Structure 1
Amino acid sequence: MAFGWRRTHLGTEADRATFRTLHTASLASPALREGLTTASAERSVRHLRALLGAPALAVTDTVGLLAWDGTGEHHAHQCPDVIARALEHGGTRVADHRELPCDQPGCQIRYAIVSPLVVEETIVGTLQVLTANATAGLVKAADEVATWVSGQLELAELDASRNRLMEAEVRALRAQISPHFIYNSLGAIASFVRTDPDRARELLLEFADFTRYSFRRHGEFTTLAEELRSVERYLLLEQARFGDRLAVTLRIAPEVLPVAVPFLCIQPLVENAVRHGLADKGDGQITIIARDAGAECLITVEDNGAGEEPERVRRALAGDAELDSVGLGNVDVRLRDTFGDDYGLVVETAPGAGTKVFVRVPKFAPGVQT
């Protein structure tokens, strides 16, 4: 039996119109998700005008024009006055020919439908639909599009707030890098200056690279390879101090090295393992494993040290600063903020039983890149 294909399978004309509208909105969305700037306005204004089918459309901040698309650009100088009245009005309003005087023959612009763009209950700009006839339908459509644009700008602000918060958390974590570690590392390096100058020089270079990485100022993500390289430098410096008392085992699957992880998310776990691994003991064993787990990378940091009361660990992960001297709670929050609540730290510990910390990260996550 033969089956024919017919255009009606695409749906009704209303369905196709809905698709076209959604598609056009999707073209404007990426720029708007960057916030309200001249660049984002210029990239989105053409698509916003297509949504409304108007002769011209302007996007402004609260001071002046950011972008214009369509005819009648000689009206652009009138935008500041129109903005001022929109800020006073607070809602969508229509500016007529008295606010838009024009001596250009054949100009189509007689009205401007002005809708405020609102982020967190504050007007940050306007959407101005310039037209020959401000019908009730077009006024309502302009208001709806402005509301949608405001929603995209709200999401942009949420993204920016999240990034600012994560940057603040990384700064806080840097501040928690133990001064004792720095002093002790330099002391250990100094002890080799006379007895083994070559090793002293190598350790000094490792210390410089470690501090350079820890205090770098670009990017909230890094690769697992870079993070583990910094961890290796940290452990080399600690081994210079503790000698044979600190034994380290690393088992890293090569295929997970390119995985993107939050900056400084492994080092605090290793620092915690060293502290507990050597607490009240003659020696300590630290084991770091990173393996491929299908769509995820599984990282474990384990020590054979004194262990901890589970309730104290729970409080540390909940943000109790008195119990979280190396920032485990900070790491847990950043993992959850980045990948979702399913990706927080899991800690197995008990007094006298050592500690094992599990980190799961997806190999690929939207918006996460180094």
Structure 2
Amino acid sequence: MWTLTNTLMSNLGYVILIAFTISKSKTFKKALDNSKYTIKDIVILSAIFSGLGIVGTYFGVDYYGAIVNIRNVGIIVASIVCGPLVGGIAGLVASFHRIISGVGATTAIPCAISTIVAGIMPGYLYKLVNTNGKYVFGCFCAVVIESFSMILIRIMVPTGSEIISSIYIPMVVINGLGVVLVIGIIDNIFKEKEKVAGEQAKLALEIANKTLPYFKDLNEASLEKVCEIIRVGVGGEVAIITGKEHILAYSAKNNKLNIKSKEIVGEYTKRAINTGETVIISDKEEEIGYNCIDGIEIKSGIITPLNYDKEVIGVLKVYFNKDSKVTEGKKYLILGLSNLISTQIQLGNIKKLEDMAKKAEIKALQAQINPHFLFNALNTITSFIRINPSKARELIINLSNYLRYNIEFKENLVELDEEMEHVKAYVYIEKCRFGDKIEVHYDIDEEAKKAKVPTLIIQPLVENAIKHGILEDVFGKNVWIEVKKVHNGFKVIIEDDGCGIDNNIVNQIYNDKVDENKIGLYNVHSRVKLIYGKGLEIERLKKGTRISFIIN
């Protein structure tokens, strides 16, 4: 027994050496790296692990018609690490080889069956148990599989009892140890990946911090500085930022670099802009496509789109003088940088919105809007950029429309439809801030949409309903906006089911006792009264508030 154990241990060393060598292969690493395997990945991984299984058979020891082997090491690891599909395929191949190999024919069938089980069972159990202890689980599976194999040998082989008594312990011990060692080798690949990812994240953060100041005022000089920071950071020869038709800025390691044309002429760049997909190019391509660059030897490059509001607005291009420079890590780093640049552009746009907000503060005295709302909205956008960029873009669009409407405050009347678009922009922003706490319902007569109303006459009422009615009440959440045809024009009704307005405030508004500089209902009441001869009708309901007025 101990002789068998020592021999098997020595042979396991060879298998571990082979597994370690394979682990350094770029092909194996790339296939193993994907969270969702492609057909190509499955084929590669199945071939590698079935190969380990076959090698385990050849490194086995013939013992009275049985093969004391380490075949199941690679198969069990394949099932745990890559899943039951890869493990199952590897197990089928290795078991088929076991049957046709001609060695140890006495136990070929039971061993083949156990190898198939070794490829499928551990993977399913690992998903079911959802444990982080791969090493203990792998060792446990090795014990179970080898025990199952011994049971089959006992049942199917006449001399099974004699064989089992000598080979059971060596098989269990060596296969269990082999599984632990191979899992350790593969875990090391993931640890290396995490280390590289950490270094790249640190580098990306450093580049982002260095480029951030230059996005506050976007121009050719600031973009050239951004290109320089990126080029130096990723070790490239050239970094270029383009729009959809022209090169905007670039930086080159070689001062003699010459950009022959500012227009985009390269097919790769056009492909990235048109498809919105990252393009990897190398000197292995039939057409290099660096027609716009003179004075530098370029062998590879990465072109990745810059996006704004779901639209490609240009690309970031980084070129290298070695084909080997375009690694998967470098690809994802540059892709991450392009996302950072896209976000920085959005943040630059927010800065412009902040300037608009400051102008709106001046208008607020006239239009009676609340500037605090604007800055709260900007903070909401900033937070969404990190967690939900798509929603952040929608917020930017709605806030832009909201601000534009306020800043372009018109003394003349506008169509109700236009006023309601302003209201909806405001409501969208507030719903993003407060979520399901607010529900706004619209009921607008079709013929009322073209009716003329003063600008900023409905939104302050909706804001009041949300701010002082809904948000100050635990149970209320609904605001109803109705515009109905009446005999002398159209009746506008804003109703909520919030806490209800204080009657003292209503009396102050009706008696003109409210400070004229105070933002609130009094301003709307005064404007409606001035234009239509009668101000707001304000009612405290059993649950909530109803405000209405007639436009004619």
Structure ID, larger Rg:
2
Tell me which interval the TM-score lies in, with the shorter structure as reference length.
0.3 to 0.5
Which protein is richer in helix relative to its size? 2
Which protein is richer in strand relative to its size? 1
TM-score when scaled to structure 2? 0.33
TM-score when scaled to structure 1? 0.48
